[in-house]
Amino acid sequence: MHRVVRRACLLAMLVLTANVWAQDLASIEKRVTVKKLDNGLTLIIYERPEAPVFSYATVANVGAAQEVPGITGLAHMFEHMAFKGSDEIGTTDAAAEQAALKKVEDAYTAYDVERRKTVGHDDAKVAQLEKAWKDALDAAQKFVVPNEFSKVADQAGAVGMNAFTQADQTVYFFSMPSNRLELWAYLESNRFLHPVFREFYKERDVVMEERRMRTESTPFGRVLEQFTSVAFLAHPYHNGVIGWPSDLKSFSASDAEAFFKKYYIPSNLVVAVVGDVKASEALPLLEEYFGRLPKAPEPEPLRTVEPQQKAERTVVLHEQSQPVYFEGYHRPPITDPDNEVYDVMEELLSDGRTSRLYRSLVRDKKIAANAGGFSGYPGNKYPSLFTFIAFTTPGHTGPEIRAGIEEQLTRLKNEDVSPEDLQSVKTRVKAQLLRQLESNQSLALQLAISQTLFGDWKELFRSVDRVDKVTAADIRRVASKTFTADNRTVVYIDNSKPAATATATGASK
Amino acid sequence: MKMLKNLSIAAAAILALAGNAQVTDYHKIQTPPLHNFTPAQPKRIVLGNGMVIFLQEDHELPLINGRAIIRGGGRDVPASKAGLIGIYAQSWRTGGTTAKTGDELDDFLEARAAHIETPGDVDSTGVTMNILKGDFDAVFPLFVDILQHPAFRQDKIDLAKTQTRTSISRRNDDPDSIRVREANKLGYGADSPYARQPEYATIASITRDDLVAFHDRFVHPNNIILGFVGDFDSAAMEKKLRAAFGSWAKGPQATKPADTGTPAKPGYYLINKDDVTQSNIAVVHPSHMMRNDPDYYAAVVMNEILSGGSFSGRLMNDIRSKAGLAYGVGGGLFAGWDHPTLFNVVMGTKSGTTIEAVNMLKQEVEDLQTKPFTEDELKRAKDAILNGFVFTMDSKAKILNQRMMLEFYGYPADYWQKYQKGVESVTTADVARVAKKWVHPDQLAVLVIGNPKDFDKPLTSLGSVQTVDITIPEPGANNAPKSAAPAAAATPAANTPDAIALMKKVQQFVGGKAVIDSVKATHQVADLTMKTPGGDMQMESDTTTRYPDAVRRVMKTPMGDVTMVITSEVAFQASPMGNRDLPSSQRDTLLRGLKMDLISVLRNVEQPGYTYATSGKEKVGDVDAQVVTITGPDNGVVKWFIDPASGRILRASRSGASGTEVTDFADWKAFGAITLPASFTMTVNGEKTASGNVKSTDLNPTIDASAFEKPKQ
């Protein structure tokens, strides 16, 4: 009886939300204008005149996955360089600076080749070449107007200026008062028109600090780096976005320039603007500015495909920190027809206090303080990992988490998800998307990333329709094919060994 | 199509007049005036009982968000209960209402993609609600119920405590979190309510009564500011809110506690952390500036010059961009709404440039008083603040939140208009004066968290250094940290190598570590003989154990079956006389026992939470048995008497409620892959109480899903 009533309520509620949803989609489409420029760059404008501000996101369809050994970390390094200005911003004399930077590169190449020689390595010569390079750096520094790009934007009222690099994309974003649209269009197109790689080697040191902060000095970062490097043998998802220290200490501004020329081509860029902007007025203006970027041939698609995993992989970090636990299973890319089945499993396992991992590992067994399973890591453009992360409660260990997760995966494979649970997930997926629309910045990011991944921003919304079609049988089928022992990679911290041993191991590296 | 294209070309031509796309100098780009913009202010309503309500309509999306801010927070609890607000905030929501358990609330809300949460802060708590608008009438009664009738169920208090213990155990793992916490202690004083941290002991002392008392002390309409924003009609909403809260009786008015705390002396403070490659640095001193101080606007401009914007500030320019010494650097002179805060500047740099970076950071602070603020710096900073000012009111939700903050701290509603004017009028002379008055380079406590063996120079080269011990005090330990001890999390007792070696032998004897590790559950049937006041009683026991924390035991007695189920969730006994819940003390004792049973103890050799130490030899029968004292979770202790030759466990002994409980094991035999005793005898204080013969033991049996569920009445 109780159950019947509950189902009836659910049904009534669904009818309501579905209606709300349909209305909303229609109104969203009316507000969106998309224009693909002759040079291949895509502009998206979403009109939302509520307040005189706008946010934008530029998504470059290039990430750490486009790197090869020797230049790992370079996609992220270029992201940093995109704040260093151009031939028109950040310099007192563009021509003289260009000549000085050419000398820096020549001196650096000579130094770097000598430094890395294994046969006939000569310390004195290395020191001499290093000095020559540093002298050249000092000479080039004289032409720098520091941080001019950021200062101009900040002074005009920009807020939230930032960027991030992931395995699949590099994303630039901030917000501005709407009367600064043209200044923004100038700045944003200019940084990709003629970027100048000034202060490259100092910024490399900054990135090394970022690596020390994020990856080396926190247990989470240390586990994460092991996780992807063990789970992927061949595909570039093997390399963390931050890059390997030796590459960060070696790659050059010339490497960055070559990378830029190959991948920062207009057809690899999507720019989305959301806010107090009229498409009819703004589009021609943006077209003028972004149309300046020269058309270029598209880079060849990635060749390497991760081979099928044939053996379970387990990696244990012995250190004094409390355990952090990662577990991953290879899964197909976001364009796969089963993508939304993975999304539903993510929700079911991880979203909120009704999620299965919360209820089993956190609430009942009390072996984890947090536990979740996430649909695509480290990216989703290429086949990636369904990834579980857990933080143990005191006295509990990685193997206990592993057993707890396995119990839930067995359940996913063997039992149909109840209609109520499935419906609850579907309702939440829709609501989440709706809530992402609340902020200009978040909407700009979502539109630009969806356009980049699928060639169509509307996929962001169509994905919700596909989620609606996922059945209990789909979940059992996809869980059964994915969550197998041979497809599993487990990485965790074990702090049961005395800390001194762990330290000694760390120090000997 | 063609037509459209022509039109847009025409539009482009018009726009080209305003902005020539071929510009090579951004200074030439025209800035049209910002659109006229008068943001809608929320409607303010005051109920007769003192509750203040703000309503802000926003019809763009079919959503409604609500929030009650309630006076009273972490600063209102005694130091001995530090951490109370975290336990309170969590179990307020998860512990449910008198009508519905927290789990029932979860199911109800999640099915509607609705959220109700109960955050807790240093000066306030709250209840938030985020819903699709169609669900208002279904969800709002729960929001009211949580405010007025929370249940604080014990199981969720316990869960919140486990979560808090977890964060205590992890608090020294991440250098950033160490820096935030320890810099606060230096700047506010370790005894300040704004710097306090929970400890195992303070968490253990918090009871349900404490939580209920906190709730009763603060959650009254006259301490509440309520705000709703979203797709609703204000008049209808006002009616619903008046109906829900209008007759709620007033309670005692909350007042702000006095500011206490003894900031640390200026100087150098070092925290050793040997697993990092980067030093975390903070320079800090108390700030007595308030948001309503006339100097506040100049302080805002000074902060903007120091570290405002993305890369515009002095700190980013000098330390990151010019020197390449940091990824993150920032901070400034903070101002409180109602209590003093900190001057605090922080950065991270590689171990090998630590001293260089400390010197640069200190120089930047001194420069605030000695390096003149230029007109250019002033203009850039003011432009950035004033041009970006529109972002303080670019959404209706933001405007509502600001109004609620102003109401909470007793600031006038036109605060932000004054702020804008205040910043406009700031001069370089104002900034210089304020920097001299409020910044104290000679008062800085300099905190470094890092790996001193890799520093460019010893920190002592800068002055005398005090080492801060951040060892986490174990439960029951004296809370005062010892000085100059290593900074790693300590374990209370240590394994002894001979005990570990012997335990490994026991593991071998029983069937090997792999077999033990594979045991997730057992099912055991045994014949028992128990001494009772009425003579010996025979019965069969049927026990299903699911590690780590669930047992179901059916005793087939002459009077009928007695079923006892203990899990972390439920504890009850079902017998022909009916069902009854077992007291939580009994549940805890039994669960603690389970963590110290044969399988658990063997499984956890060299695992955190368990230690094994030899403690002499004792005769058991004619064997010279090695005694191993095993300490487990929740202070569980058991002694095992082991035959050192074979690794066979002869006896286990522990202190129970009624004295020393001793179990002697005999007839070890294989049950499948594992070898276990087939018979045992129990004595309490030397008197035999029970004996048993094991008929069968199955490893990892199939367990009926309902085995650990409470039967319906």
Angle formed at CA A22 by CA A19 and CA A26, multiple of 5 degrees: 145
Q: Do B175 and A217 touch (CB under 8 A)?
A: yes
With H, G, I as helix, E, B as strand and everything else as coil, classify residue B364.
Answer: helix
Paired residues of B348 in beta bridges: B280
Query: How far is the C-alpha of A456 from the C-alpha of A442, rounded, in Å?
Result: 17
Residue in chain A closest to B110 (alpha carbons) equals A424
CATH of domain B267-467: 3.30.830.10
Which residue on chain B is closest to A352 by alpha carbon? B110
Calpha distance A248→B390 (Å, rounded): 40
Taking the model in full, what pTM does it have? 0.77
Beta strands B687-699 and A269-275: pairing type?
A: unpaired
B481: tokens are 């940290």
CB contact under 8 A, A178 and B34: yes
Residue B650 confidence (pLDDT): 92
Q: Which of A38, A213, A356, A495 to mutate to test the interface with B (most CBs of B within 10 A)?
A: A213
Tell me the Cα Rg of chain B. Answer: 33
pLDDT digits (tens, 9 = 90+) for B88-135: 999 999 999 999 999 999 999 999 999 999 999 999 999 999 999 999
pLDDT score recorded for residue B416: 93
Contact B62 A434 (CB under 8 A): yes
Which of B608, B625, B603, B594 is closest to B511 using CA atoms?
A: B603
pLDDT at B533 over 90: no
| A226 plus A365 within the same structural domain | no
pLDDT > 70: percent of chain B: 92
Percent above pLDDT 90 for chain B:
60
Q: 3-class SS at B261?
A: coil
The residue to which tokens 């990679």 are assigned: A489
**What residues form DSSP beta bridges with A494?**
A318
A24 in a domain, yes or no? no
**Same domain (yes/no): A156, A265:** yes
For B491-527, write each residue's pLDDT tens digit. 345 788 888 888 988 998 898 888 888 888 899 898 8
Q: Residue A56 falls within a domain, yes or no? A: yes
Cis peptide before B548 (omega within 30 of 0): yes
Maximum mean pLDDT: which of B275-289, B303-317, B630-644: B275-289
Is the confidence at residue A13, as pLDDT, over 90? no
Distance in Å from the first CA to the final CA of chain B: 73
Range of the domain at A411: 313-507
User: Most distant CA pair in chain A: distance in Å?
Assistant: 87
CA–CA separation, B104 and A194 (whole Å): 59
Structural domain contains residue A308: no
- Rounded-to-integer distance, Cα B103 and Cα B101, Å: 5
CA–centroid distance for B163 within its chain: 7
Q: Residues B68-86: pLDDT tens digits?
A: 999 999 999 999 999 999 9
Record the tokens describing residue B608, joined without a space: 């955190």
Among candidates B563, B295, B233, which has minimal Cα distance to B432? B295
Q: Is the pLDDT of residue B18 over 90?
A: no
* Whether the predicted pLDDT of A5 surpasses 80: no
Same domain, A173 and A220: yes
List, in sequence order, every residue forming a beta bridge with A172; answer none if it has no partner: A58, A163
Same-domain check for residues A50 and A193: yes
Q: Name the DSSP letter for residue A323.
A: P
Provide the Cα torsion A8, A9, A10, A14; round to 10°.
100
- Report chain A's terminal Cα–Cα distance, integer Å: 65
Q: Does domain B43-174+194-245 have CATH number 3.30.830.10?
A: yes
Q: Across the interface, which of A151, A288, A420 has its CB nearest the CB of B111?
A: A420
Domain count, chain A: 2
Assigned domain for A298 exists: no
Strand partners, A387: A328, A374
Whether residue A131 is contained in a domain is answered as: no
C-beta separation of B75 from B122 below 8 A: yes
CATH number of B497-699: 2.50.20.10
Task: Write out chain B residues lying below 8 Å of A188, CB-based.
Answer: none
> Which strand ranges, in their side-by-side order, compose the sheet holding A269-275?
A32-36, A42-47, A269-275, A53-60, A170-177, A159-165
Looking at residue A503, what is its pLDDT?
Answer: 40
Distance of CA B578 to the CA centre of its chain: 41
CB proximity A456 to B under 8 Å: no
pLDDT at A12: 35
What residue ranges of chain B are covered by domains with CATH 2.50.20.10? 497-699
Let me know whether A338 and A394 are in one domain. yes
Strands A269-275 and A42-47: parallel
CA distance A189 to A193: 6
Pick among A7, A190, A209 to test the B interface (most B CBs inside 10 A): A209
Beta bridge partners of B346: B282, B330
Cβ within 8 Å, pair A147-B321: yes
- Position B592 scores a pLDDT of 77
Q: How far apart are CA B299 and CA A205, in angstroms?
A: 32
Q: What was the pLDDT predicted at B711?
A: 65
Cβ atoms of residues B68 and B127 within 8 Å: yes
Least Cα separation, residue B699 to chain A (angstroms): 15
Measured in whole angstroms, the distance separating CA A207 from the mean position of its chain's CA atoms is: 16
Give CA separation, B575 vs B472, B552, B555, in Å. 46, 13, 10
Confidence of residue A509 (pLDDT cuts 50, 70, 90): very low
Beta strand segments in B533-622, E: 535-546, 550-557, 560-567, 571-575, 578-581, 611-620
Distance from C-alpha of A9 to C-alpha of B135, rounded to nearest angstrom: 11
**Separation between Cα atoms, residue B513 and residue B504, nearest integer Å:** 8
The rounded mean pLDDT for chain B is 89
What average pLDDT does this structure show over A410-437?
A: 94
| Token pair of B214 as six digits | 């906190």
List, for residues B250-305, the tens digit of each pLDDT value. 999 999 999 889 999 999 999 999 999 999 999 999 999 999 999 999 999 999 99
Rounded to an integer, what distance in angstroms lies between the CA atom of residue A158 and that of residue A177? 7
CATH code, A362? 3.30.830.10
| A151 Cβ under 8 Å from any chain B Cβ | yes
Distance CA B538, CA B529 (A): 5
Shared domain for A267 and A330, answered yes or no, is no
B481 interface with A at CB cutoff 8 Å: no
Burial class (CB in 10 A: 0-12, 13-18, 19+), B712: exposed
Whether residue A397 and residue B26 make contact (CB cut-off 8 A), yes or no, is no
Q: How confident is the model at residue B534 (pLDDT cuts 50, 70, 90)?
A: low
Say what angle helices B84-94 and B208-218 make with each other, to 10 degrees: 90
Strand B115-117 with B278-287, pairing: unpaired
**pLDDT confidence of residue B712:** 56
List the helix and strand counts (H, then E) for chain B.
20, 25
**CA–CA dist A90, A150 (Å, integer):** 10
- Alpha helices by DSSP H, listed for A397-439, are 398-414, 419-436
Q: pLDDT-based confidence at B658, cuts 50/70/90?
A: low
C-alpha dihedral (A183, A185, A186, A189), degrees to nearest 10: 160
- Residue range(s) of every CATH 3.30.830.10 domain in chain B: 43-174+194-245, 267-467
Q: Does some domain include residue A336?
A: yes
Please give the order of strands across the beta sheet that includes B329-333.
B329-333, B341-350, B278-287, B445-450, B267-272, B465-467
CA-CA distance, A452 to A449, in Å (whole number)?
5
A312-367 confidence digits (pLDDT tens): 999 999 999 999 999 999 999 999 999 999 999 999 999 999 999 999 999 999 99
Whether residues A358 and A285 share a domain: the answer is no
Q: What are the pLDDT digits (tens) for A107-124?
A: 999 999 999 999 999 999
Concatenating the DSSP letter of every residue in B466-505 gives EEPP-PPPPTTS-SSPPTT---SPPPSS---HHHHHHHHH
Cα three-residue angle B687-B692-B693, rounded to 5 degrees = 150
Do A350 and A263 belong to one domain? no
Q: Measured between alpha carbons, how far is residue B339 from residues B343, B410, B440 in Å? A: 13, 13, 19
Q: What is the ipTM of this complex?
A: 0.89
Domain shared by A84 and A230, yes or no: yes
The Cα–Cα gap between A201 and A135 comes to 13
Output the CA–CA distances (angstroms, integers) from residue A396 to A323, A404, B695, in the order listed. Answer: 8, 12, 32
Which residues make Cβ contacts (< 8 Å) with residue B28, sequence separation at least 6?
A: B20
- Spatial separation of the C-alpha atoms in residues A451 and A462, rounded to whole Å: 12
Separation between Cα atoms, residue B341 and residue A174, nearest integer Å: 30
pLDDT at position B139 is 98
Q: CA-CA distances (angstroms) from residue B159 to A47, A297, B172, B551?
A: 46, 58, 22, 19
Q: Quick: pLDDT tens for A431-469.
A: 998 888 889 999 999 999 999 999 999 999 889 999 999
Largest CA distance in chain B: 108
- Cβ contact B394–A322 (<8 Å): no
The more confidently predicted of residues A1 and A53 is A53
Please indicate, yes or no, whether residues A152 and A208 belong to a single structural domain of this protein.
Answer: yes
> In the A/B pair of chains, how many CB contacts fall below 8 A?
297
Query: For residue range B207-226, what is the model confidence (pLDDT) as tens digits?
Result: 999 999 999 999 999 999 99
Same domain, A249 and A365: no
Same domain, A377 and A240: no
Which tens digit of pLDDT belongs to each residue from A286-306? 999 999 999 999 999 999 999
Shortest CB distance from A216 goes to which of B39, B277, B321?
B277
